[in-house]
């Protein structure tokens, strides 16, 4: 009898686990028109997921969020975003939404790791822009970013972030200029735009989700050691002079479970000869699936960065992409045209363990 009861308990627990992680296993549909329907079915609000999320996140979201208004005209609590961030208590444990009014905010914003559960929110039809001209020569590469996020459970929605430094000339050192560095864990970006040249987005470390975003740059404009899923993201290369590369993912061995998965993305731009990624480190992992790749991409598609020994360790995968730049015929020999089984882990929210933390984008009347 005890054995039978134990078996029943085990089966029941397994069923509960399956229910709790169902949104982690549902594959992203091949039909792009079904994306939003799929997303709503698999990323549900807190009210239907109690007991499934990380406990500290569930606690943070259990009460209506505190809203801090930033308005350049003085009608909010603060005129700058940085002032609003400074007002948040160290060790904050509740969701705080910084509601940012329209306009260009010329400032460098940093949210350190002592201030989790922060959301930056703008109106989707009148998005605020955060702009700064930091570069590596003055701040170091990773601290040159206009927006630096080191805290966990960060969310941004309807925000433009730009680095206004001039385009690097390829000769002068220290011209890397980041728009965003995201170093916190379990963070999401909805309908955001990241503008820069070299190193636009430092997807540094942690689980991250990007949906309906736009990223613009020249060289390595998505780089770092993050484990991230990019859904319906436009990658726009400003080419026509010098080296142009989209990704420089920094995985250094197969023991590291990091990488970037771009699903239903569009690769656009100026010029041609752009690489989807290069082997900046020993074992980068980048996947493009169901994506539209224009002629801006070179026929080889990817670069081993003049390290032929890395041909054996890189994971550069493609799956059912379309467009002139997606033709597999001229691809470099180390590029993998993935099978259904090989691509499956990268086509589900489980890649970023989303069932534990990912919530729908906030909605707020700014």
Residues labelled as active-site residues: 220
Q: Compute the distance between CA of residue 261 and CA of residue 245 in angstroms, rounded to an integer.
A: 16
Closest CA to 302 of 348, 335, 325, 265: 335
The helix/strand/coil state of 4 is: helix
Token code pair at residue 33: 């028109």
Locate 362 and state its tokens. 């906030």
Contacts of 273 (CB under 8 A, 6+ apart): 239, 244, 298
Q: Would you give the end-to-end CA distance of the chain in angstroms?
A: 60
Three-state SS across the chain? CHHHHHHHHHHHHHHHHHHHCHHHHCCCCCCHHHHHHHHHHHCCCHHHCCCCCCHHHHHHCCCCCEEEEECCCCCCCECCHHHHHHCCCCCCCCCEEEEECCCEEECCEEECCCCCCEEEECECCECCEEEECCCHHHHCCCCCCCEEECCCCCEEECCEEEECCCCCCCCCCCCCCCCEEECCCCEEEECCEEECCCCCEEECCCEEEEECCEEEECEEEEEECCEEEEECCEEEEECCCCCCEEEEECCCCCCCCCEEEEECCEEEEECCCEEEEECCCCCCEEEEECCEECCCECCCCEECCCCHHHHHCCEEEEECCECHHHCHHHCCCCCEECCHHHHHHHHCHHHHCHHHCCCCCCCCCC
**Two structure tokens written together for 195:** 């503008």
């Amino acid at each position: 009898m005890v054995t039978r009861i134990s078996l029943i308990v085990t089966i029941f627990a397994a069923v509960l686990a399956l229910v709790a992680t169902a949104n982690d296993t549902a594959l992203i549909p091949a039909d792009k028109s079904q994306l939003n329907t799929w997303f709503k079915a698999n990323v549900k609000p807190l009210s239907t997921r109690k007991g499934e999320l990380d406990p500290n996140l569930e606690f943070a979201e259990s009460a209506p969020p505190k809203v801090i208004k930033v308005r350049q005209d003085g009608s909010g609590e603060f005129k700058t975003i940085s002032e609003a961030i400074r007002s948040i208590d160290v060790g904050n444990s509740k969701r705080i939404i910084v509601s940012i009014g329209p306009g260009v905010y010329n400032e460098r914003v940093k949210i350190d790791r002592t201030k989790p559960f922060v959301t930056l929110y703008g109106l989707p039809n009148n998005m605020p822009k955060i702009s700064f001209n930091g570069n590596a020569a003055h701040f170091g590469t990773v601290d040159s970013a206009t927006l630096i996020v080191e805290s966990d459970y960060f969310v941004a929605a309807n925000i433009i972030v730009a680095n206004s430094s001039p385009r690097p000339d390829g000769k002068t050192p220290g011209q890397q200029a980041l728009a965003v560095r995201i170093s916190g864990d379990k963070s999401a970006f909805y309908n955001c735009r990241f503008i820069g040249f070299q190193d636009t987005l430092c997807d540094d470390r942690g689980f991250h989700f990007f949906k309906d975003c736009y990223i613009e740059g020249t060289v390595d404009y998505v780089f770092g050691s993050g484990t991230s899923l990019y859904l319906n993201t436009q990658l726009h290369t400003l080419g026509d002079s010098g080296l142009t590369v989209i990704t420089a993912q920094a995985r250094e061995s197969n023991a590291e479970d990091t990488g970037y998965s771009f699903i239903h993305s569009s690769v656009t731009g100026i010029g041609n000869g752009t690489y989807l990624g290069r082997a900046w480190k020993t074992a980068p992992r980048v996947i493009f699936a169901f994506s539209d790749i224009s002629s801006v991409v070179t026929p080889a598609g990817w670069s081993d960065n003049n390290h032929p020994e890395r041909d054996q360790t890189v994971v550069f995968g493609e799956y059912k992409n379309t467009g002139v730049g997606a033709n597999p015929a001229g691809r470099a020999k180390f590029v993998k045209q993935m099978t259904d089984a090989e691509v499956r882990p990268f086509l589900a929210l489980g890649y970023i363990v989303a069932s534990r933390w990912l919530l729908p984008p906030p909605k707020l009347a700014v």
